[in-house]
Structure 1
């Protein structure tokens, strides 16, 4: 990520400096699949705005991004699109909206159901929650490698969405037994892991680099609309017909299938097209047309900026507990009717919906690292309220607002920050690698917190969560300051793709 300087025009594959006839650098695939730069004349007779309208630039001279849904549009039409993002972003947002509506209808009541109805201890709940996160973590890496290797971002993402929809169908057909519930939730999490990285890669390939924060914020806002509506729908169904979980599962399955239809029938996958001019001749069979390898994806960790961001994300996630623990603690402290339990998640999603776009824009303006760390500061505030205070109505509102701010500041922002550090041909695998590390860290944090709650009590568990979170935030600030204070850093890592 690099801040623009006056006089720089955005061009396909590089940055054009000065007026007509100036020279520009391009990122190309050279011998052996390595990524190298060439220098060539920039288009003559076009000003900066015209060039920017014809081809969007990734920071640091990454490959030009092409979206088949918008190729061939006049420059004026492209400038008129929604804040510089194409229809792929909106359609992916609609798919996520429907899928999250389906999922949250089921998961909004799960913590209470598992603990109160099935008798899970906090440790057992933390272990179950962590294992579900772990299942998604493994599938993230698989989906990232397959998507980059075979360039099938949409197909892999659609498979993940289909698995989540199928999990709801199983619940609707099999009822709510512990075995069926566990299997269906595991399948749902594996589906989530499969779809997340290729979907985020499609988002990053469907918007110019300067609008990545807005594109991810728009998608997350639509995603959150579904997540917000899910608990309300579940609450309404159970209020009308108490105990009718089958009705919730059937409607959830139907909505999930509609979401799959949107991505399969309407979304046209964007593509990354490197420059056609290599820096030097490439010997036949050496690097020509080579697909990215798993080694190239893991090789991103040798790039300081990417490695630093991954370590910050994993370190902060290690100090994160499951949302269910927060909701259970609120229910214990406030002693409200169990029927209102799903509305806690709805309140968080309402705040997230309001803040997702503004914080995405703020991340583009002041630096994604700063906004990301700020989100974890808000999460530490949640744990602090539940640890040292007897929350009344004001405490409840404060917890929900801070949790919503945490999600708005971290979810899409981490993906946007990582996207700008990863070459386009490694985008899906690079995102999956970061997301896998975060998911595994959350698994460990959830299990550790559940064990502390079970054996030392909730007060002790939340005190340790606050302390660990603050230490992680300080270390993250120090790490990001070494990268320029969390502002935009240099462009994507230069790695070999073969």
Structure 2
């Protein structure tokens, strides 16, 4: 355990744990709060669309900049600080422009830190331990995602209808995360081929696609296709609600999913190191297809408990493992750039997927949405099986 998990890995995992507590405290109440201060469904959609697009593009930009400068910690520290301050800021004023600025700042913080953090996790691990490391980090992150909604429920019980207090209290876990980043130390790294003083344009990270390893490109193509048919988890909760579940049960299922996901993440990461990351990711996508087929066919909401359990197995088998798989197929000086490029493409694909899912839901019903996702996931799994290799590990810097 000590050889696998360095001080840096444990610190990053705790930082993510506290940050996700803050983020997920807001997840169940954000739409309700925005409606209570006068936001229409259209404004909420525009707000979230701009926020996610900002996060998506900034992940690639700051990932490439991290590689150019040969630095990780400064991006991580400032990214978590921006997010910690912007969440409670949303409760200070109900002015729409202020809400837009605060929400976008939160997403810029996520974009600023994500690729550099993933690259640092890769730097602190070896090809033989990377699945365990990313799995452990993902488990701690997701544990925070289970604790956060539970705290939100408690606060709503203590202060009924007072949503602003939840936003304000997020400052506590948010600043705890920021203080923990002070334990991180920057290590000397060789810079990439581009001179840092030349900077990076907002879209220059896209140019890495042509230079990237072939197996990396095949993996990304398969994963982005999968993302395009994988809509927001909110649609799963909406389906349960549609079938007659109470609000408490819906939030309870979300907490159950995150707890199961957190507990399974490290074991699945450990298995990926033993059995191969390609096999684990394809296994996870197969579980996804089965789960979404269940959501398409089942109308008895009590069965959804089993389906959410399966969904947690899918998430634990893919979310952390696929980052480790990508890292194993990138040269060290391009880890943040490569993961940042994937993160950006994934964010844009997620935005498109949720928009399309919402449109199909309205036009054809929820069953069609989940059936399309199940079929698409099967095709994505077949593509990854045929066109990718288990791992092409790069030891050098080029």
TM-score normalised according to structure 2 size = 0.89
1:303 corresponds to which of 195, 206, 213: 213
Aligned position for 1:16: none
Aligned position for 2:392: 489
Aligned residues: 393
Q: Distance in 2 between matches of 1:404 and 1:113?
A: 28
1:191 corresponds to which of 109, 131, 134: 109
Structure 2 residue 183 is matched with structure 1 residue 266 = yes
Aligned position for 2:167: 249
1:391 corresponds to which of 300, 303, 324: 300
Q: Distance in 1 between matches of 2:90 and 2:38?
A: 16
Structure 2 residue 36 is matched with structure 1 residue 133 = no
Q: 1:444 to 1:221 in 2, by over 3 A?
A: same
Q: Distance in 2 between matches of 1:469 and 1:288?
A: 37
Q: Distance in 2 between matches of 1:472 and 1:117?
A: 41
Q: Distance in 1 between matches of 2:37 and 2:294?
A: 27
Where does structure 2 lack aligned partners over 5 or more consecutive residues? Answer: none
How far residue 158 of structure 1 moved from its aligned partner, in angstroms, is 1.4
Kept in 2, the 8 Å contact 1:202–1:269? The answer is: no
How far residue 118 of structure 1 moved from its aligned partner, in angstroms, is 6.9
1:291-440 → structure 2 map (5 Å cutoff): 298=208, 301-336=211-246, 338-393=247-302, 395-440=303-348
1:85-124 → structure 2 map (5 Å cutoff): 85-110=5-30
For residues 389-434 of structure 1, give each alpha carbon's deviation from its aligned partner in whole angstroms, at most 9, with x where no partner exists: 11332x2212221221222122111111111111111111111011
Aligned position for 1:21: none
- Which structure shows the bigger proportion of residues in strand conformation? 1
Q: Distance in 1 between matches of 2:255 and 2:206?
A: 41
Task: Give secondary structure in 2 for the equivalent of 1:209.
Answer: coil
How far residue 130 of structure 1 moved from its aligned partner, in angstroms, is 4.7
Q: Distance in 2 between matches of 1:342 and 1:368?
A: 32
Q: Distance in 1 between matches of 2:137 and 2:364?
A: 40
Kept in 2, the 8 Å contact 1:111–1:324? The answer is: no
Aligned position for 1:209: 127
Where does structure 1 lack aligned partners over 5 or more consecutive residues? Answer: 1-80, 275-286
Q: Distance in 2 between matches of 1:288 and 1:376?
A: 36
How far residue 302 of structure 1 moved from its aligned partner, in angstroms, is 4.3
Q: Distance in 2 between matches of 1:97 and 1:372?
A: 23
How far residue 309 of structure 1 moved from its aligned partner, in angstroms, is 1.3
Q: CA RMSD in A?
A: 2.9
How far residue 114 of structure 1 moved from its aligned partner, in angstroms, is 6.5
For residues 142-199 of structure 1, give each alpha carbon's deviation from its aligned partner in whole angstroms, at most 9, with x where no partner exists: 1112211112211111121112112212123125x66554443332222212211000
Q: Distance in 1 between matches of 2:40 and 2:245?
A: 19
How far residue 297 of structure 1 moved from its aligned partner, in angstroms, is 6.5
- Which structure shows the bigger proportion of residues in helix conformation? 2
Q: Distance in 1 between matches of 2:15 and 2:270?
A: 23
Bigger Cα Rg: 1
Structure 2 residue 356 is matched with structure 1 residue 453 = no
Q: 1:409 to 1:271 in 2, by over 3 A?
A: farther
Structure 2 residue 61 is matched with structure 1 residue 142 = yes
Q: Distance in 2 between matches of 1:288 and 1:104?
A: 39
Q: 1:386 to 1:129 in 2, by over 3 A?
A: farther
How far residue 110 of structure 1 moved from its aligned partner, in angstroms, is 3.4
Q: Distance in 2 between matches of 1:116 and 1:343?
A: 23
1:223 corresponds to which of 136, 141, 145: 141
Q: 1:436 to 1:357 in 2, by over 3 A?
A: same
Bigger drift between 234-243 and 108-117 goes to 108-117
Q: 1:167 to 1:344 in 2, by over 3 A?
A: farther
Q: Distance in 1 between matches of 2:357 and 2:38?
A: 20
TM-score normalised according to structure 1 size = 0.72
How far residue 288 of structure 1 moved from its aligned partner, in angstroms, is 9.2
Q: 1:302 to 1:196 in 2, by over 3 A?
A: closer
Q: Distance in 2 between matches of 1:382 and 1:92?
A: 31
Q: Distance in 2 between matches of 1:458 and 1:213?
A: 35
1:136-175 → structure 2 map (5 Å cutoff): 136-175=55-94
Q: Distance in 2 between matches of 1:418 and 1:494?
A: 15
